[in-house]
Amino acid sequence: MDFSEVSLPNGRHTIGKRFEFEAGHRLPSLPPGHKCSRQHGHSYQVEVVLTAPALEGPGFVTDFGDLSAFKQFLDAELDHHNLHDILPFEPTSELLAQFLAGWFAQHVEPTIQGRLVGVMVCETDRSWARFDVEQ
């Protein structure tokens, strides 16, 4: 088969990269009997989703290695911290996803080719929240 005869459809390329950190939190605005009002912890997984209308370099939306500043931020500022002690908001997954999207857009996005689509925060294997950036 001559692969050069395969026509490529138009569209957008999308990539994702997942990061992890460990942290504790509590949600003090919940009633005292709610389990999340008490101190507890999560093995958070955070996934950033990026897109680009055209590929750069050898065929990248963004080189995955260029996202290392985000990992460094998570490790230095959030990993093994009590999130309710350091963040200026109640650390729900929804608000954490929005905050991380803001940090990424401010500190990483200006240095890369791709554009942020959204950030997903997983507290467990079955529970997640996603913040989608308006384009």
What is the set of active-site residues? 36, 80, 123
Q: How many CA atoms lie within 13 A of 84 on its CB side?
A: 14
Nearest by Cα to 95 from 31, 19, 35, 29: 29
CA distance 50 to 73: 18
CA distance 94 to 131: 7
Report angle CA 44, 50, 54 to the nearest 5 degrees: 165
Is 123 within 8 Å of 95 (Cβ atoms)? no
Is 23 within 8 Å of 80 (Cβ atoms)? yes
